[in-house]
A and B are shown apart, each in its own frame.
Chain A
Amino acid sequence: MRRKGLRRTLHHIVLWLVAIVFFMPVFWIILGALKTKEQLLAIPPKWLFVPRLANFVDLFIRPNITTYLITSVIISVSAVAIAIVVSFLAAYCFSRYQLKATNLIMFLLLSIRMVPAAATVVPVYLMYVAFGWKDTWLGLILFYAMFSIPFSVWILKGFIDGVSPRFDETGLVNGGSRLHVMFKVVLPQIQPGLVAAFIFNMVFVWNEFLFNYLIGGRRTTMVPVALSTWMYAQAGVDWTFVAALTTIYMIPLILAIFFFQKYLLIGMTFGTVRGEV
């Protein structure tokens, strides 16, 4: 569509305004992280001030916050990595061997992901207490792996379906083993699916609060739970702390959606909707 210059410019200005409106609260958090406590609570709100990094320094001087960040990284990365390996095997099986149970299992996997977390917390909590898995690294990592498997299977199956079975046949005829075909022929072709599955499951695990609060404990606290337990200072909520921690915690995610924007749609709809943004 060819449009006149002025109309086009107006259109662009409106689009940028929309972007700014949606980003405003996030921007406010980031600004808050750079202010002093008095500036943050100042009325009227302060837009111009001398930014300072003292809040971030304070964050890392506090005991434990670094530990929580490292815990978050380790738990989410390892959980999602395990989930993706397991899901790849299953997705390959669903895609290539027409098992009778395929549709049923795919349906069950999706429905567990659709169940409200509140409905599963009770039995999972009791199970973890009974088995002594509460506040163990493995217990949390494997739980989050389970949490990530349904979406990963759905995303990866869609992508493996898109790779023609002829690749497999050619590989087998030429003397490659099944495993060779899976990992050396099919796997490289579904890289976008792997990236999408990885990032979007990471987002969910990274931000997860309820289960970490319940089945985690002192050793396995991740940042969102740490935030809600540490935010109270002597006089009410320590807002600069909240702002600084939130800012640090969201930077990796914002970078991820900046660099992997074309996978956003696949990731948010677990591969059922494809398309360009």
Chain B
Amino acid sequence: MADTSGVEYMVRRPAWHTRLLRSFEESGLFSTALLVPVLIFFIVWNIIPLLWMVGLSFYNYCLITGVPEKWIGFGNYLDIYSNFNMWNAFGRTFQWVFVTVGVETVLGVLLGLLFWGSQDLPGRRVALTMIFTPMILAPASTGTFFRLIYDPTFGVINYFIRSIFGMSIDFLGDRAWAFGAVVLVDVWMWTPFMILITMAALGAVPRAELEAAEVDRLPWYKLFWYVILPHGKFILMLGILLRTIDSFKVMDLIYIMTKGGPGNTTETIAISLWRKAFEGFNMGWSSALAVILLLVAIAFTSIYLYVLNLSKRGEVS
């Protein structure tokens, strides 16, 4: 007689709750069910505030005057458009993004190249940790401490400047220096990111091509241009775009260090919005500005994804 116990096991019907679970998993509902938590988060924390914001942007709504809110249509937008300070703030923001990202990219690529082939560096892990530390620190606390470092009487930097030039500079309080001083802190914080990206880009270059280049005795600039760049350019572009977006977003670092001052010299668009919303409590006006910022961010994201798709297609071909 053949052993039928195995057969019997196979034909035994699963318990009812297992069957129910199975049929649920096989139905089209299951994939939707997986999305439900994300959608709840998305609706509660994004769609509702977003609609709220768009709605508010058409009202004249100020928290402290006590005047009831009033529908003014595109009044806030027109006001932003005709506001000279806003144009300045936008200009400064782009200047900020351009300078920080530019300096960080150049410096990051150079230092990243320097770290190329450093696998045999003694204590490499410690050294890299030291380099990457600035970008994981809280801007709120580093910004605070940089106020001491930049301080005209007690700061370290001014000690050296005094001993060389015999005078001290109030970096964060002087209109001529404040912007550069804050840029320098951002560069210190985020150049490591571009170093990291450059190292990844270099990792994408196939070994065989590097060896071929070495055999051919390619000069370094040709090596960079013809061998490294074609393989690493997408990673670099993604890195630069991410930095652009992040640099556009920066707010706590600047706010903690200068609050947008002296004068308006470090007032980027994000700082203007913050001041208008939480120092002037003009919620309608700042919502309108926020809608504009949102559109800019969506544009940046689209560009980022476009490049990302290009790079994926590049990998396939």
Interface of A with B (CB < 8 Å)?
1, 8, 11-12, 14-16, 18-20, 22-23, 25-26, 28-29, 32, 41, 43-45, 85-87, 89-90, 92-93, 96-97, 99, 105, 107-112, 114-127, 142-143, 145-146, 149, 153, 177-179, 203, 206-207, 209-210, 214, 223-225, 227-228, 231, 237, 239, 242-243, 245-246, 249-250, 253-254, 256-258, 261, 264-265, 268-269, 272-277
19 pairs, A vs B, C-beta closer than 8 Å: A22-B188, A23-B131, A26-B134, A44-B163, A93-B31, A105-B38, A115-B294, A118-B251, A119-B289, A119-B293, A127-B49, A149-B41, A153-B38, A223-B138, A246-B142, A250-B133, A273-B239, A276-B200, A276-B203
CB atoms of B45 and A93 under 8 A apart: no
Interface of B with A (CB < 8 Å)?
18, 21-22, 25, 30-31, 34-35, 37-38, 41-42, 44-46, 48-50, 52-53, 56, 111, 114-115, 117-118, 120-123, 125-142, 144-149, 153-154, 156, 159, 163, 188, 191-193, 196-197, 199-201, 203-204, 214, 235, 238-239, 242, 245, 248-249, 251-252, 256, 269-271, 273-274, 277-278, 283, 286-287, 289-291, 293-294, 297-298, 300-302, 304-305, 308
Taking A15-B115, A115-B249 as given, write out 16 further A-B residue pairs in contact, using a Cβ cutoff of 8 Å, ordered by the A residue number. Answer: A14-B114, A22-B131, A22-B133, A22-B134, A26-B133, A32-B148, A116-B270, A116-B293, A119-B273, A121-B277, A126-B52, A242-B144, A246-B144, A254-B129, A273-B200, A273-B238
| B148, B191, B308: most-surrounded residue (chain A CB, <10 A) | B148
CB atoms of B125 and A207 under 8 A apart: no
Name B46's contact: one of A142, A146, A206 (CB within 8 Å): A146
CB atoms of B141 and A227 under 8 A apart: yes
**CB-CB < 8 A to A121: which residues of B?**
274, 277-278
CB atoms of B144 and A18 under 8 A apart: no
Report the Cα distance A41→B154, complex, angstroms: 6
CB atoms of B200 and A257 under 8 A apart: no
CB atoms of B25 and A231 under 8 A apart: no
Name A261's contact: one of B128, B197, B277 (CB within 8 Å): B128
**In the complex with contacts A177-B21, A253-B136, A11-B297 CB distance below 8 A:** no
Name B118's contact: one of A11, A116, A142 (CB within 8 Å): A11
CB atoms of B245 and A122 under 8 A apart: no
**CB-CB < 8 A to A124: which residues of B?**
45, 49
Report the Cα distance A269→B241, complex, angstroms: 11
CB atoms of A122 and B34 under 8 A apart: no
Q: Which 5 A-B pairs give the minimum distances between C-beta atoms?
A: A123-B49, A207-B138, A275-B200, A118-B270, A119-B290
**CB-CB < 8 A to A1: which residues of B?**
117, 214
**CB-CB < 8 A to A142: which residues of B?**
41, 45
CB atoms of A23 and B301 under 8 A apart: no
Q: How far is the CB of A121 from chain B (nearest CB, A)?
A: 7
Chain B residue nearest to A124 in the complex (CB): B49
Report the Cα distance A257→B159, complex, angstroms: 33
Q: How far is the CB of B16 from chain A (nearest CB, A)?
A: 14
Report the Cα distance A231→B283, complex, angstroms: 30
CB atoms of A126 and B283 under 8 A apart: yes
Name A210's contact: one of B163, B252, B302 (CB within 8 Å): B252
Name B37's contact: one of A89, A107, A275 (CB within 8 Å): A89
Report the Cα distance A100→B55, complex, angstroms: 29
CB atoms of A123 and B138 under 8 A apart: no
Chain A residue nearest to B235 in the complex (CB): A273
